[in-house]
A and B are shown apart, each in its own frame.
Chain A
């Protein structure tokens, strides 16, 4: 438990370092690009549908992920803790928070298999037919 607490208190070493995050989506998604603001709306559950009426299924990384910290900070412009609190509130009000996946590989697999899914990675390898909707920042 002490180790976990220390881990929580330790800032992510590379979260502030320059890096690129790629927002990816299922190949059937009816858009070819998204702005940062569009992505923010999706992850804050303020946009629930794609233009063709299919449900948007946002995918997040696990809480311990550096990439999630980076995405939260640079793309959503919120702290991971504030976002978790917000998603918990929305969950209680009946809205589904983003699905959590524990690795980039599982994000890619989920987005490939689920129509309407959108996620993010920092590595373009293995994307296959997935769409890249944004490259941020």
Chain B
């Protein structure tokens, strides 16, 4: 990567630093950053991620990666709607082009469901929801994860969303076990774009989460899905875990997917992805972050390997500034080597 690109990233970060409220004073009168605004039984909140990137072989640029708004209602045990709308990948500027030349944002309905709550331990959720596979897919907001780059393991080879029904049982027993089973009987609400890598149907699955502490846990995910327009079906088995040791937080997800009736073009009838990530608080609010991931894709012989090294500055839990270097080798599955910086805020 040339110096020009580094200067471009430095410049946009500088602009962001001047323009955005990085103050550690998250609370203003009557409003707490990260907790949204309450209006009667409704809470309106959201998050934003503004990203500056300088990737190898690509133009440096600045984009709104996510601008998400979510509205949650708690009217009574039967009326608990949740809506999340997201504007994604709006290009603000790319090297060699004037600002806002072609923003081309995508508007998605990420979640739209209602919870029917039957007492302390049983909830039925109906609508479009995040598929409970691993933890990253369920808690993927920029301010709540350590890196701007999302591991392949957390999205590439399974449907991230389910439009259907799920049964959730949580806070079971002394260990506060959480179980969720879900089923998508028909099509997607707000389907993925036509150029999505895979389109799924007949999705069903199960997840068990065992809390080990406040945020520490281990989880098991099992998911079956058919691929549209082919005779293929797949079964995913995933494990995830988060473990905190004083200032160090370790996190891992891995999944193995078996593919039945694979198309002739597939190079293997299974897929594997896994990563391990660590975040260490070096100084107050400053964290060093590292991650190693491997992914063996069904379509590519070579294994994809990517390593991320970075820092986070988190002046409060609702704000994260991130700077990271990504080194990618092997199969190119959408993660490029380069420098990425982002400003992330929950509001």
By a beta-carbon cutoff of 8 Å, the part of chain A in contact with chain B is 1, 4-5, 8-9, 41, 44, 46-49, 53, 55, 62-64, 78, 81-86, 88-89, 91-94, 96-97, 99-100
Contacts and interface: CB of A to CB of B under 8 A. Distances in A.
In the A-B complex, the 9 residue pairs with the smallest Cβ-Cβ separation, listed nearest first, are A84-B317, A4-B25, A46-B171, A85-B317, A4-B24, A86-B214, A94-B82, A8-B24, A5-B24
Contact of A49 (B45, B119, B215): B119
Interface of B: 22-27, 32, 34-36, 38, 43, 45, 47, 70, 72, 74, 77, 82, 115, 117, 119-120, 138-139, 141, 143-144, 170-171, 176, 214-215, 284-285, 315-318, 346
Contact of B139 (A49, A62, A93, A99): A93
Nearest to B318: A88
A72 B53 CA distance: 39
A82 B281 CA distance: 13
B25 A83 contact: no
B144 A63 contact: no
B26 A48 contact: no
27 contacts: A1-B24, A4-B23, A4-B24, A5-B315, A8-B285, A47-B120, A47-B171, A48-B117, A62-B32, A63-B26, A83-B214, A84-B34, A86-B214, A86-B215, A88-B34, A88-B144, A89-B139, A91-B34, A91-B346, A92-B47, A92-B70, A92-B346, A93-B138, A93-B139, A94-B82, A94-B115, A96-B72
Contacts of A81: 317
A55 B74 contact: yes
Given A46-B176, A47-B171, A82-B215, A92 B141 contact: yes
Contacts of B36: 91
A1 B25 contact: yes
> Which of A8, A62, A78, A99 has the largest count of B CB atoms less than 10 A from its CB?
A8
* Majority SS at the chain B contact face: loop
B38 A99 contact: yes
Contacts of B74: 55, 96
B144 A78 contact: no
A70 to B, nearest CB: 18
Main secondary structure of the interface of A (DSSP, over half): mixed
Contact of B144 (A5, A48, A83, A92): A92
A5 B176 CA distance: 36
A1 to B, nearest CB: 5
A1 B72 CA distance: 32
Nearest to A48: B120
B215 A85 contact: yes
A53 B120 CA distance: 9
A47 B25 CA distance: 31
B143 A49 contact: no
Contacts of B24: 1, 4-5, 8
Contacts of A93: 138-139
B23 A97 contact: no
Contacts of A5: 24, 315
A91 B23 contact: no
Nearest to B211: A46
A91 B27 contact: no
Contacts of A44: 214
Contacts of A47: 120, 171
A124 B307 CA distance: 56
Given A9-B284, A47-B171, A96 B43 contact: yes
Given A48-B120, A49-B119, A96-B72, 8 more contacts: A1-B25, A82-B214, A85-B215, A89-B144, A92-B47, A92-B346, A94-B72, A96-B43
B27 A64 contact: yes
A113 to B, nearest CB: 14
Contacts of A62: 27, 32
A46 B318 CA distance: 22
Nearest to A81: B317
Contacts of A41: 171
Q: Which of A55, A82, A94 has the most CB of B within 10 A?
A: A94
Contacts of B284: 8-9
B311 to A, nearest CB: 17
Nearest to A98: B35
A5 B285 CA distance: 10
